[in-house]
Structure formats: C-alpha cells, structure tokens
Amino acid sequence: MATQTQHIPIDLRSDTVTRPTPAMLEAMFQAQVGDDVYEEDLSVNALQEKAARIFGMEAGLFCPSGTMTNQIAIKLLTQPGDEVICDRLAHIYNYEGGGIAFNSLASVRLLNGERGRFTPDDVLENINADNIHYPRTSLVALENTVNKGGGCYYTLDQIAAISDVCKANNLFLHLDGARVFNALVATRENPVDYGNYFDTISICLSKGLGTPVGSVLLGSKQLIEKAKRIRKVMGGGWRQAGFLAAAGSYALDHHIQRLAEDHQRATIIAQCLQNVPFVQSILPVETNIVIFQTPSERVNNEVLAYLKEHDILAAAFGKDKIRFVTHLDFTDSMLDRLIAVLRKASVTLEKKVI
C-alpha cells in the first residue's frame, strides 16, 4: 500500500458516468436474449412492457439513446414545415445537434419559461393562426426535470393544464423525460397518470437509474409501430440488446426510490456552496443537479482546475457556471471529501483567484 491515501476519483460531471452494480451485472448475465429486429429478444420485450405499464402507456420501444427517442417522437408527431414549441433551454433544441431540422425538417418556437418550465398561457400565445404564411404548430415538447434549469420539475397538475391546452388546440405533447424519475421521486406522484397527458414519453435508463446504455420511447401501439420504422432508418434496429434491457428492467425495479439519496446529497452540496466566496449564486436545488455561477470565465476555470487537482470532476456549464450532478456512484464518504475540498477552497483558492 502506498502511504498516501488513495482516492477514488469523484465524478460529478453527469449522472451518466455510473457503472453497473454487481447485482445489475448479474441480471445482465442472466438475460434471455434473441434478435430484437425479429422482435425475439425476451428481455427487450419485457423491458418495453414494464416501462409502458409504469407510465400508463400501451407500448414501448427500447433505443440506444435519449436523443434517438426524442428525435423519433418529433419525427412521428410533425410533418416537414411544422413548428415545435419548446423552451429555449430544452435539450431537444440545444443538445441534439440540430436534429429537429435534420430529421424532421421542422422549425422551432422557443419559449422563455422559468428555468425551462413554461405555462399553458405560454403555449396558447405561441400557437400560430391557421394561415398559409405561418408554419403549422403541431407539437409541444416539455422536459422534466429540466437539465439546464438546474433539475427543476413540473408537477402533475402543471402538466395536466398544459395537456388540456394541447388537446383543445389539436397539438401533440411529448415529454423529454430523461430525468423524469427524479421528478417523480421529488413530487411523490404516480407515473401511471402520465399516460393520460402525453402522446409520447422518452425515458432514460442511463442517467440516474445507473444502467450502461438505453432509453425507452413510450406511446400508443400505433405510434410505437411507426416508431420502429423510424428507429430502423436511424440505424437503431439492434440485435441481442436484451443484455442491456435486463439492466434497464433491474434499474426500474431497484434504482428509482434511491434517487431520494441523490437529491439529499445535492441539497447538502448546495448548502455548503452558500458559504464559498467564489460562488455568486446557486440555482435552487430540487433534485440531483447543482448549478452555480462564478464571477468570471477565469475563476470558473480556476475552480474546475482546483477540483481536478483534488480528483473531483465537475462540468463547465457555459463560461461562468459549474454543474455537479449526484448519482448512484457518489457516496456519503465522497460527499464528505467534496465538502472538505470546497471548504478549503474558500480559504486557499480565493486568495489565488479573486
């Protein structure tokens, strides 16, 4: 043994960095698989049915990424030249490589919501009149929780009100639910009601739930049949994906309620940051994401470098913001180490950079 304490690096860049637990790996080894393009992979079929049941939907489609499930949904629910309403912070707009234009030839109406969340009135005000000059508004997409909004969530009542406006105006409603389980654990609401409000839902298994890969698109049987064609065109028809699906089913059974621990740890980090001088402001913490503002790009870089020297990885979120995301592989002892390093930073780093 080296005399120095060997630190396991603390990686808070994203909740995608988790490794499968031994029990999850065991479930993967035990998976019954087949060729999913022939729809013969029992583990994939079981995951799709399980996820659909949880959200009160008829059917599901297992895909390699949340970008793919979102993009398939947008393709399903728009025609070329249509307009999609979403918030200016939305992942589908900011982080999917211009996929709305590339895949669906649709335009986008950006809303200026509150940390990425918008209201039924925001939607109403942005529906185009039926006039040949305007793109036809056909789809509303909301994100729950909102990544760029610091992990804030919608309640079911807020979602129901937006859904009412969509139904009254013949608009489809899609949910980018990459972190919807964080929202559900925070609100203690029942996901089965989601099926009443959305035409399609994308959930990610590789974020807080801790699987290596995978997302599921949920919808009616008819929509999911069409979605299979689009997934195939995108190159997402896969073969013995059941090894990955088994990890997903395991996570749905075992890794949802524990998200509350991630939320607690995020809250503790935010409390500590309140007393760190280079932290100018912190977005309110509602789930597992902590975003804070620093005075300048230079300080931002210094803070990230300081953390890295202490084996702590965080993500630059724009030029003068830093994001921590708590997850399955971030333990209480790591939390203690992080807090100690942040406290020390308020003494040593401040002299250096401010």
CB distance 326 to 269 below 8 Å: yes
- Least Å from the CB of residue 64 to ligand PLP: 8
CA 71 to CA 336: how far, in whole Å? 40
Cα distances from 294 to residues 94, 121, 277, 338, in angstroms, run 22, 34, 9, 18
Contact residue for ligand PLP among 18, 43, 137, 147 (CB under 6 A): 147
Q: Which two tokens stand for residue 110?
A: 């950006």
User: Any contact of residue 67 with ligand PLP (CB under 6 A)?
Assistant: yes
Task: CB nearer to ligand PLP: give 66 or 150.
Answer: 66
Question: Of 59-67, 106-114, 117-125, 260-268, which segment contacts ligand PLP by CB under 6 A?
Answer: 59-67
Backbone conformation region of residue 71, classed left if phi is above 0, alpha if psi is from -120 to 50, else beta: alpha
Burial of 70 (0-12, 13-18, 19+ CB in 10 A): buried
User: Any contact of residue 116 with ligand PLP (CB under 6 A)?
Assistant: no
Task: CB nearer to ligand PLP: give 244 or 342.
Answer: 244
Interface with ligand PLP (CB under 6 A), residue total: 12
Question: Of 48-56, 66-74, 249-257, 328-336, which segment contacts ligand PLP by CB under 6 A?
Answer: 66-74
User: Any contact of residue 267 with ligand PLP (CB under 6 A)?
Assistant: no
- Least Å from the CB of residue 178 to ligand PLP: 3
Sheet hosting strand 172-177, strand order edge to edge: 59-63, 215-219, 200-204, 172-177, 137-143, 83-87, 107-111
User: Any contact of residue 315 with ligand PLP (CB under 6 A)?
Assistant: no
- Least Å from the CB of residue 231 to ligand PLP: 14
Q: Which residues 177-196 are close enough to bind ligand PLP by CB under 6 A?
A: 178
Cβ-closest residue to ligand PLP?
66
Q: Which two tokens stand for residue 104?
A: 């669906």
- Least Å from the CB of residue 58 to ligand PLP: 23
Residue 106 CA to its chain's centroid (Å): 23
Contact residue for ligand PLP among 176, 199, 262, 286 (CB under 6 A): 176
Please provide residue 282's backbone torsions phi and psi, each rounded to the nearest 5 degrees. -130, 135
User: Any contact of residue 143 with ligand PLP (CB under 6 A)?
Assistant: yes
For residue 5, is the peptide bond before it cis, meaning its omega torsion is within 30 degrees of 0? Answer: no
Beta-strand (E) ranges in the chain?
A: 10-11, 59-63, 83-87, 107-111, 137-143, 172-177, 200-204, 215-219, 281-282, 289-293, 312-313, 315-316, 321-325
Contact residue for ligand PLP among 21, 65, 119, 128 (CB under 6 A): 65
Question: Of 17-25, 44-52, 61-69, 288-296, which segment contacts ligand PLP by CB under 6 A?
Answer: 61-69
User: Any contact of residue 100 with ligand PLP (CB under 6 A)?
Assistant: no
Please provide residue 288's backbone torsions phi and psi, each rounded to the nearest 5 degrees. -110, 15
User: Any contact of residue 151 with ligand PLP (CB under 6 A)?
Assistant: no
Binding site for ligand PLP (CB under 6 A): 65-67, 70, 91, 143, 147, 176, 178, 204, 207, 215
